[in-house]
Amino acid sequence: MGQSQSKPNRFFNDEEIKMIAQVYNQEGLDAVLPLIKDKCDNLDNEKVTIAVTGESGVGKSAFINAMRGLGPNDEGAAEEGIIEQTSKPTPYQHPTLPSVCLWDLPGIGTTRFSARQYLDKVNFNTYDLFVLITGERFKENDVKLAKEIKKMGKEFYFVRSKMDTVEVNLNEVGQHDRLEEVFDEIRMYYNRSLKESGLPTSQVFLVSSRYPHRYDFMEFFGCLESELPDKKKNVFVLSLPNLTEAVIEKKKKVLRAKVLLAAVVSGGIGAIPIPGVSVACDIGILVVTLLHMRSYLGLDDESLCRLACRVNKPVQELKAEITSPFVLNITPSSVIKLLTSTVSGAAMIADEALLLIPVIGSVIGATVSFTATCFLLNSALNDFAKSALNVLKKAIEDNSEVL
């Protein structure tokens, strides 16, 4: 409790608190929410930049769309086609996490630069990770570029795209039972090629941007995650499309940490002896955190509409899988209603009177705010994650190849 008194305000400084109090007193709760949102948004501004390159026609644009959970016709999608589309580095931000950006780089085979000159031209040092998309065969340019990347101490990943085409071709000749055998042969070819090229420790992932839930995409995601520092890792995990239950569980784990952070913030604000400010900030923190949770778990309207179009199902059919109507109606009033329906939430609001007594109020206010925020957000996170899993199951129902 002593710590709560001595450091009650690590998230907001004194000047910000005074401004929040003034805005609340003059304009009410709705005017406070943007102030809280701006502050909380900074927590997710850790930048993750992934460079994607490869020769013309290997499927870079489709891969970038798959990484962002977009279809070719979605707003903001990279234009897909067999003709080289990229003449200069082109950024594509994640639809819900703008700090995550994939850069479509011109294929080295389409430039007149050496591998070394190419890396300088595309400002290579600005990227966290480098992905080389390959076609049916390793090309000399792929090897040259990979070696230059190695020299600069950066990580790179080979991705063999369009593996669904391999499966389709086997089906057409009645040899689908050889699928595993053929995939093993492809892996052996790449491993042998890497070894012969002096890159024996590199790994190739066999993927399909059309069906990212199949083949090696999930393994590829895990490898990228393991290479990033913790702050970037968390943002990267939240940016992943909801392809499997494992992805949803990963997101849930990251969001658990965010719940704790929000509760600490709430506890710090609860220790501030300014009538009205604690509840205003608590509601603001809850609304913003809940909206972020909903977005990260793909339960916001835009994400659901994109998914509905991709799987060719009515969006209302997906929304019907959401377990709590609260997920679709996150507002200050709905949060207050939910708070007052719980003992801890009611205590948090009733505790406002104690803030008139600075010493007692600062101790009790912080404790109640922390407890109520933790309780509500953890309960909501469980509901949201369950809903996300239900939506995923519905989306792939009767057609496991549409995601």
Torsion angle in degrees (nearest 10) through CA of 324, 327, 332, 333 = -30
CB atoms within 10 A of CB 148: 20
Q: Residue 385: what pLDDT? A: 95
Query: Rounded to two decimals, what is the model's pTM?
Result: 0.76
Q: Average of pLDDT values for 209-228?
A: 88
d(CA 382, CA 75): 30
d(CA 288, CA 280): 12
The amino acid occupying position 46 is E
d(CA 217, CA 164): 12
Tokens 């090897």 appear where?
Answer: 143
Q: Residue 82: what pLDDT? A: 52
Q: Residue 80: what pLDDT? A: 79
CB atoms within 10 A of CB 332: 17
What's the number of CA atoms in the CB half-sphere (13 Å) around residue 151?
A: 11
C-alpha to C-alpha distances, 165 to 61, 82, 131, 177, nearest whole angstrom = 17, 14, 21, 15
Q: Summarize pLDDT for 267-281 with one digit per residue, the tens.
A: 555 544 544 445 555
Q: Residue 25: what pLDDT? A: 75
Beta bridge partners of 49: 101
- From first CA to last CA, the distance across the chain in angstroms is 50
Q: Summarize pLDDT for 141-158 with one digit per residue, the tens.
A: 778 778 877 777 777 888
340 vs 217 pLDDT, higher one = 217
d(CA 358, CA 364): 10
CB atoms within 10 A of CB 81: 13
d(CA 75, CA 303): 11
- Domains of the chain, CATH where assigned: 2-44+242-396 (no CATH), 48-239 (3.40.50.300)
